[in-house]
Structure 1
Amino acid sequence: MVERVPPFRSRVGKKRSPAPWMFAFIFLFFTGMFIVLFLRSPLSKIERIDIVGNHLVSSGEILHKAKIFKGISYFGVNREHIEKSLETMPEIKNATVTTTFPNQIYIQVQEKTPVAMFRSSYQELFPILSDGTILLNRTASVEASVPVFEGWKPSNSTLRQAVLQLAKLPGSIRRECETVRPVSGQADQVEIDSKRKHRIFVRVRNLSEMMLYYPSFYKHPSGTLFLLESVWFIPDHKAKEGA
């Protein structure tokens, strides 16, 4: 009786497929190597920094405040931190930082617009912001078409109140004001000399309200206008006749 022998099944040539974790390990290894090489290469370093919108503050001051410079790592730039840092500067209203991969930074700032100038005893002009801040570290090279405060001490509280009131005025009226001086013996009043040859006396606390009457006097001849509890105007020629 012949026994039946099961056929021989050869396993030669069959290979097990590599485990999935091997592919994952290889991928992570080469990805990590690529990142390390990129970070160590010049490609990840900041090469270009553009700053726009600054007039009062120099680009150098902005870079110093932001603590950024060419050559730093692109991945070390914290946009939110830079924006908050720049907005602590009294001249800057807001700042926006944009990064462009792999090596560019774009900084756009919006500065506070000076509403007046302060003339020192040395005849130097300094910008005054709408909140009353006098930028004593920034000399204005050219007298702008804004009122000039003269005859004041920088620490005078009335000066700051007058600036706050002046900032509320429409630009068309504010540009008519040439100089703003304190009134001797009347700490609550200021004297405004206009470009239309008018001397205007007004109380600081309601300057923004009372100066709205001034446009109705634009065509009056040179003279003195009192915008106090009551409003009256004295032309220069009548003042001379009365004297």
Structure 2
Amino acid sequence: MENKKVTTLEDRIPKLKEQRKQKANRRMIFYISFFFLLILVIIYFQSPLSHVQTIEIKGNQLVTEEQIIEKSNIKEDTNFWLVETKAVKKNVEELIQVDQVKVDRQFPSTVMIEVTEYVKVAFVEREGTYLPLLQNGETMPAISDGTVPSNAPVLIDWNKNEALQAMASELKKLQESIRIRISEIHFEPKENDSKRITLFMNDGYEVETRISGFADHMKHYPAIVQALESDEKGVIHLTESVYFNPFVKEEGKVENED
């Protein structure tokens, strides 16, 4: 008959005590670790380590980094974890040059602000100065006195804000390859047409058209010029009907011949 080993209660008690002791030790280590971790977290949030250390700005050309940072309301002592990205986005988008903003927190202490600006479509002439005009119809502070812009059309005699915004919207839709061929755009409303404008082109032509449908009318300009004789300059009428009046010199004066 096999002998079966019988474990008595006296034999089991030491093992149970050891197991309870190990469990108590593990629990004690957990509490001590949690306590020290909590202390470290408190120290971190109270120290400059939790502050925003770097603000990176991307996509800006018309507005300075200083203006964006000031508008974001992020200070040197702003807690990295308390930066509200939606609030920063809303604040920066209040800048007239800014169309859209993307804000991202990058651990451990960097805030990334990426802006998409409105396109500069023209300059508005005001008392000898030139104000950059954005595609949303807003004007920026004047560039330096005496500097005549050459990389965008100059708008002259545009005193009505409503007409200026409409013109900016049309210029936004116009292909850049055509826009840079325009030297000046004069606002010349008539009694029977309050939207009439005259364009002076860099290639020597004049264009008479309207604000309404401007971009749609002007997209035909390159083909029209190509069809004309290269040495024959004049006025191209681009409205409901398209026709051309060459310049004719008479007694030293330049006139239009109907």
Q: TM-score w.r.t. structure 1 length?
A: 0.83
Structure 1 regions of 5+ residues with no counterpart? Answer: 1-6
Equivalent residues in 2 for 1:1-243, closer than 5 Å: 9=10, 14=17, 16-17=20-21, 18-19=23-24, 21-120=27-126, 122-135=127-140, 138-141=141-144, 143-153=149-159, 155-185=160-190, 186-215=193-222, 216-218=224-226, 219=230, 221-237=232-248, 240=255
Is residue 245–residue 257 contact of structure 2 (8 Å, CA) maintained in 1? no
Query: CA, structure 1 residues 76+242, in 2 after alignment: closer, same or farther (shift >3 Å)?
Result: closer
Structure 2 regions of 5+ residues with no counterpart? Answer: 1-7
Q: Distance in 2 between matches of 1:97 and 1:241?
A: 56
Deviation for aligned residue 1:78: 2.1
Secondary structure in 1 matching 2:200: strand
Aligned length: 233
Q: Report Cα offsets for 1:101-121 as digits up to 9, x if no partner.
A: 22222222121111111111x
Is residue 205–residue 235 contact of structure 2 (8 Å, CA) maintained in 1? yes
Deviation for aligned residue 1:89: 2.5
Q: Distance in 1 between matches of 2:138 and 2:256?
A: 43
Deviation for aligned residue 1:240: 4.1
Q: Distance in 2 between matches of 1:88 and 1:96?
A: 14
Q: Distance in 1 between matches of 2:246 and 2:9?
A: 128
Query: CA, structure 1 residues 220+159, in 2 after alignment: closer, same or farther (shift >3 Å)?
Result: farther
Q: Distance in 2 between matches of 1:206 and 1:134?
A: 22
Secondary structure in 2 matching 1:88: coil
Q: TM-score w.r.t. structure 2 length?
A: 0.78
Q: Distance in 2 between matches of 1:55 and 1:8?
A: 83
Is residue 99–residue 115 contact of structure 2 (8 Å, CA) maintained in 1? yes
Is residue 86–residue 92 contact of structure 1 (8 Å, CA) maintained in 2? yes
Deviation for aligned residue 1:212: 2.1
Q: Report Cα offsets for 1:155-189 as digits up to 9, x if no partner.
A: 43222222222222211111111111111534221
Question: What's the RMSD between the two structures over aligned residues?
Answer: 2.8
